[in-house]
């Protein structure tokens, strides 16, 4: 399994919370699509997280809500959420709502929330990379 | 730059401006920071059954349905890992797949043999259809000749039977009249005082005279020929019967007809003899069977009646035979046509069976390919075992839900999630 090949890194609270959000997003349309599951684990690979660690995160539901400190960290998390939502090739309204909630929770202006969600959804649809987005924002 | 256009000229940096204080987070599933994430609590303990594990993990998450799916995933992945590491199981699964492959290959071979047999049968039926068609064509070709012969016999016998029957009718009605009702008198004597036999037997006015005598007499003499025609008909039918009994019945019938005919002849001859005796001066003995046996007139009457009765029976037999020959040709033709129809139906069935077998053979190929691909991968999984343990885990989970007095809706939600998960097992594998 691909996940097992990654170097096991300790998950901090931010990552745990991030993966919990990703998991909630996957479940938000009440259907845990296999492609969404694959995306969840592949995001884990990118963060150096094994499948077991992800399972344990979603298994416990015992996580301290922790928000990324930097803009880049927030953008990374929102990008992952958008990828998860787009994994099955469609964005459900529930999925959109969760991303929007996260945008607001991450401290972005509520009036910009919809535009930010649109931006991330458009970006994943255009297959932009995480670094492209960060560079674009930092301009 | 569609996205930038959408932003209405404002820069991305402006878009990602943050507030001083982030939105407070409310989440039912989030617990206090004191509850630290302890991996050891959630791993399956040594010796713990999946049922117990399900019960315990449900307790840790308080039966939260959102945690059920990853729990099931975790169980599934855990078992998969165990199975991957189990060399004996891997060998067993490999052997099972190999056995299944052999079984499928044997099945395919058997089906191919069946298919070949089916094709052979189709060929046999097609040949038989052609054979029957040839027979039908031969029958059509020879039909003219056969029918011609049968028609010749039929027409000849009809030509013979009609006058024969008329003769029969006239002869026996006259004989019956002469024997039973006619008064012989001296006027019947010819030149030289001799009786003319034709006058004694044949009476052109027999029917008119019988009518004058009464309707009973008329019916009697009209029905007399019918008795002999019936004798002839019965003789013909018995002749066609099988079995030894007909060899007793036929001589008996002929004997009865002969006796009946003899009695008629005797009656007439006795009347002639008595009239002769009246005219004769000499003393003559009474007429008897001995005298009748020496009387040529007695035998002439028998010959004219009894022999012609026998001949009528034989001619009638030929007539019937010719009629049946004509009919038989039709029956034979119908038989062959029915046989061809049945063979065509059989051929259709065999063709349909053949197509069915062909599709079955074609369906085995992908199954073998699938087994080949399963055999070529590094690890194989006992899906039944995974499903069984997932069921055990979920049973434990349900027990906890029941213990917590969770609502039926929540229980149903968990069951639906579990069923969805079970459905994905094959996909995940």
Asked if residue B299 and residue B386 are part of one domain, the reply reads no
Contact B19 A109 (CB under 8 A): yes
Contact A60 B61 (CB under 8 A): yes
Count of CB pairs separated by less than 8 Å, A with B: 115
A49 phi and psi, to 5 degrees? -110, 135
Asked if residue B208 and residue B78 are part of one domain, the reply reads no
Contact A16 B37 (CB under 8 A): yes
Q: How far is B414 from chain A (nearest CA, A)?
A: 12
Contacts 24+ apart (CB under 8 A), B38-43: B39/A56, B42/A56, B42/A59, B42/A60
Whether A45 and chain B come into contact, CB under 8 Å, resolves to no
Asked if residue B237 and residue B173 are part of one domain, the reply reads yes
How much is the pLDDT for B193? Answer: 55
Who among B22, B67, B73 is closest to A106 (CB)? Answer: B22
Asked if residue B183 and residue B252 are part of one domain, the reply reads yes
Taking the C-alpha atoms of residue B227 and residue B231, their distance in angstroms, rounded to an integer, is: 6
Q: How confident is the model at residue B120 (pLDDT cuts 50, 70, 90)?
A: very high
Write the pLDDT tens digit of every residue in B218-258: 888 888 888 888 888 888 888 888 888 888 888 998 898 88
Asked if residue B310 and residue B179 are part of one domain, the reply reads yes
Final residue of a structural domain among B326, B345, B370: B326
Asked if residue B297 and residue B185 are part of one domain, the reply reads yes
Asked if residue B158 and residue B259 are part of one domain, the reply reads yes
Residue B109 lies in a domain: no
Contact A123 B428 (CB under 8 A): no
**pTM of the prediction?**
0.39
How much is the pLDDT for A89? Answer: 84
How much is the pLDDT for B85? Answer: 87
How confident is the model over B44-48, as a mean pLDDT?
Answer: 79
Contact A59 B33 (CB under 8 A): no
Q: How confident is the model at residue B114 (pLDDT cuts 50, 70, 90)?
A: very high
Q: What is the mean pLDDT of chain B?
A: 80
Asked if residue B263 and residue B183 are part of one domain, the reply reads yes
B402: helix, strand or coil: helix
Residue B135 lies in a domain: no
Q: How far is B4 from chain A (nearest CA, A)?
A: 9
Asked if residue B198 and residue B71 are part of one domain, the reply reads no
Residue B197 domain boundaries: 148-326
Q: How confident is the model at residue B192 (pLDDT cuts 50, 70, 90)?
A: low
Q: How far is B18 from chain A (nearest CA, A)?
A: 4
List of chain B residues whose C-beta atoms are within 8 Å of the C-beta of residue A79: none
Taking the C-alpha atoms of residue A129 and residue B131, their distance in angstroms, rounded to an integer, is: 78
Residue A46 has pLDDT above 70, yes or no: yes
Q: How far is A67 from chain B (nearest CA, A)?
A: 9
Q: How far is A94 from chain B (nearest CA, A)?
A: 15
ipTM over 0.85: no
Count structural domains, chain B: 2
DSSP-derived secondary structure letter, B21: S
Residue B95 lies in a domain: no
List of chain B residues whose C-beta atoms are within 8 Å of the C-beta of residue A75: 16
Final residue of a structural domain among B309, B326, B343: B326
Asked if residue B296 and residue B158 are part of one domain, the reply reads yes
How much is the pLDDT for B379? Answer: 81
How much is the pLDDT for B107? Answer: 93
Give burial (CB, 10 Å; 0-12/13-18/19+) of B179: buried
Q: How confident is the model at residue B117 (pLDDT cuts 50, 70, 90)?
A: very high
Contact B73 A109 (CB under 8 A): no
Asked if residue B255 and residue B156 are part of one domain, the reply reads yes
In sign, the C-alpha dihedral spanning B309, B313, B314, B318 is positive
Residue with tokens 């170097």: A7
């Amino acid at each position: 399994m691909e996940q097992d090949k990654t170097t096991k890194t300790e998950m901090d609270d931010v990552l745990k919370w991030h993966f919990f959000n990703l998991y909630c997003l996957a479940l938000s349309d009440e259907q845990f699509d296999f492609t969404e599951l694959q995306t969840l684990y592949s995001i884990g690979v990118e963060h150096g997280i094994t499948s077991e660690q992800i399972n344990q995160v979603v298994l416990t539901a015992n996580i301290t809500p922790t928000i990324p400190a930097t803009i880049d960290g927030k953008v990374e998390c929102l990008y992952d959420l958008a990828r998860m939502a787009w994994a099955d090739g469609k964005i459900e309204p529930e999925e959109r709502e969760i991303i929007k909630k996260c945008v607001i929770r991450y401290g972005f202006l509520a009036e910009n929330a919809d535009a930010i969600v649109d931006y991330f959804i458009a970006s994943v649809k255009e297959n932009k990379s995480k670094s492209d987005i960060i560079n674009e924002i930092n301009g | 730059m569609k996205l930038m256009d959408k932003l209405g000229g404002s820069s991305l940096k402006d878009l990602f401006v943050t507030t001083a204080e982030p939105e407070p987070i409310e989440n039912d599933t989030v617990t206090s920071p004191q509850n630290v994430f302890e991996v050891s609590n959630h791993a399956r303990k040594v010796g713990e059954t999946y049922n117990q594990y399900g019960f315990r993990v449900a307790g840790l998450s308080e039966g939260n349905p959102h945690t059920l799916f990853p729990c099931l995933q975790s169980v599934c992945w855990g078992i998969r890992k165990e199975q991957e590491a189990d060399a004996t199981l891997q060998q067993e699964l490999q052997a099972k797949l190999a056995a299944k492959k052999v079984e499928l290959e044997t099945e395919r071979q058997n089906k191919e043999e069946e298919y070949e047999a089916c094709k052979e049968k189709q060929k046999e039926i097609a040949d038989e259809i052609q054979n029957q068609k040839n027979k039908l064509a031969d029958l059509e070709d020879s039909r003219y000749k056969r029918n011609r012969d049968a028609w010749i016999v039929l027409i000849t016998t009809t030509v013979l039977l009609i006058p024969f029957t008329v003769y029969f009718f006239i002869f026996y009605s006259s004989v019956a009249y002469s024997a039973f009702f006619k008064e012989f008198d001296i006027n019947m004597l010819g030149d030289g005082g001799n009786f003319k036999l034709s006058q004694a037997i044949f009476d052109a006015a027999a029917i008119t005279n019988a009518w004058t005598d009464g309707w009973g007499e008329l019916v009697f003499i009209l029905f007399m020929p019918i008795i002999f025609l019936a004798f002839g008909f019965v003789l013909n039918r018995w002749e066609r019967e099988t079995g030894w009994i007909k060899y007793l019945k036929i001589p008996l019938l002929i004997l009865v007809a002969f006796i009946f005919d003899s009695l008629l002849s005797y009656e007439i001859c006795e009347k002639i003899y008595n009239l002769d005796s009246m005219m004769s001066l000499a003393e003559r003995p009474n007429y008897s069977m001995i005298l009748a046996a020496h009387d040529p007139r007695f035998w002439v009457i028998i010959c004219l009646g009894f022999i012609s009765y026998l001949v009528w029976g034989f001619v009638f037999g030929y007539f019937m035979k010719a009629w049946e020959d004509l009919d038989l040709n039709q029956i034979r033709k119908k038989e062959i046509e029915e046989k061809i129809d049945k063979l065509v139906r059989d051929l259709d069935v065999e063709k349909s069976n053949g197509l069915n077998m062909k599709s079955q053979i074609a369906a085995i190929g992908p199954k073998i390919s699938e087994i080949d691909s399963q055999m070529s991968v590094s690890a194989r999984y006992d899906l039944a075992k995974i499903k069984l343990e997932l069921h055990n885990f979920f049973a434990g989970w349900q027990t906890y839900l029941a213990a917590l007095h969770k609502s039926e809706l929540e229980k149903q939600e968990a069951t639906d999630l579990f069923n969805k998960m079970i459905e994905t097992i094959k996909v995940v594998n």
